[in-house]
Amino acid sequence: MAGEPADPGFVEIDDDDTTWRFERDFMTSNWTCLFGNGCKGILAEEAEALNQGCCSLGAHFGDGEPGQEEARQLSAYVPLLSPEQWQYHGIDTVYGDPERTHTRVVDGACVFLNRPGFAGGEGCALHIAAVEADESPTEWKPSVCWQLPLRVDWALTDESDPKSREIATVRRWSRADWGDHGKKMAWCCTERSDGGEAYTGDAEVIDSLADELSVLAGDAVYVELRRRLD
């Protein structure tokens, strides 16, 4: 919790053929998303006024068939967005390449990001539309978008045996997870070393990201995680 020494340990929960490992320190921290409330973005210079959050690069889908499935799912939701909800409504394509591996970047950020001053509201148009439809944004948005700041590392107990047990490690994103771009970022919200501005929330991550954690690992695993942390 806030003010306590960092604990590098993980809470491990077995669920069928998967062992889930949750970063204890982050789950019990008071990290909170600062979008629209002081977020400095992920550019080479702090850019709070742009209010882009982590949307400057667009959304990258997963590799292989899972990534293509996300792209197809996105295509199903795009027609549901209205001009009042989406600043770039009517644009010819929302994908950044013919292979549809990521969303298009327009005017320096994701095509779905409504910019400051847009009457329908700043932020992700998919998120806005999901909330207005009384549905979870996790259903509408690419997984990398709704999972941030959560990162999942998948591995096998025996890499040579595809039937071996899966290990899913859930932790906070780090600069390294952004690849070369991470080296250029002036600010990374999950870091504590540079002031830790994002660690100012009123609730612990286990509560504030309850929806995301439940979708990510399943309701049963989330309930057990809460029990362990309590």
* Mean pLDDT to the nearest integer, 20-40: 96
Q: How confident is the model at residue 55 (pLDDT cuts 50, 70, 90)?
A: very high
pLDDT value of residue 66: 87
Contact 20, 222 (CB under 8 A): no
Mapping DSSP onto H, E and C, the string for 119-168 reads CCCCEEHHHHHHHHCCCCHHHHCCHHHHHCCEEEEEEECCCCCCCCCEEE
CA distances from residue 151 to 26, 28, 66, 169 in whole angstroms, order as listed: 11, 16, 17, 8
The pLDDT value recorded for residue 1 is: 31
Task: Quote the CA–CA distance of 191 and 213 in Å, as a whole number.
Answer: 20
For the entire predicted model, the pTM comes to 0.89
Structure token digits, residue 158: 């025996």
Q: Average the pLDDT over 128-151 and give the result.
A: 96
pLDDT of the residue at 6: 34
How far apart CA 2 and CA 76 sit, in angstroms, is 41
pLDDT: is 41 or 230 the higher one? Answer: 41
The DSSP bridge partners found for residue 223 are: none
- Cα-Cα-Cα-Cα torsion 55, 57, 59, 62, nearest 10 degrees, comes to -140
pLDDT at residue 163 in the model: 73
pLDDT digits (tens, 9 = 90+) for 145-194: 999 999 999 998 877 777 788 999 999 999 999 999 999 999 999 998 65
d(CA 30, CA 25) in angstroms, rounded, equals 10
> What pLDDT, on the 0 to 100 scale, is given for residue 224?
97
Residues 6+ apart with CB under 8 A from 76: none
pLDDT band (50, 70, 90) for residue 5: very low
Kindly report, residue by residue over 67-108, the tens digit of the pLDDT.
999 999 999 999 999 999 999 999 999 999 999 999 999 999
CA distance 108 to 50: 10
The answer, yes or no, to whether residue 2 has pLDDT greater than 80, is no
pLDDT band at 195 (very low <50, low <70, confident <90, very high): low
Q: Pick the range with the lowest mean pLDDT from 49-53, 65-69, 203-207.
A: 65-69
pLDDT above 60 for 8: no
Beta bridge partners of 110: 105
Q: Which tokens sit at 6? A: 């960092």
Of 134, 9, 114, residue with least CA distance to 52:
114
Per-residue pLDDT at 126 exceeds 60: yes
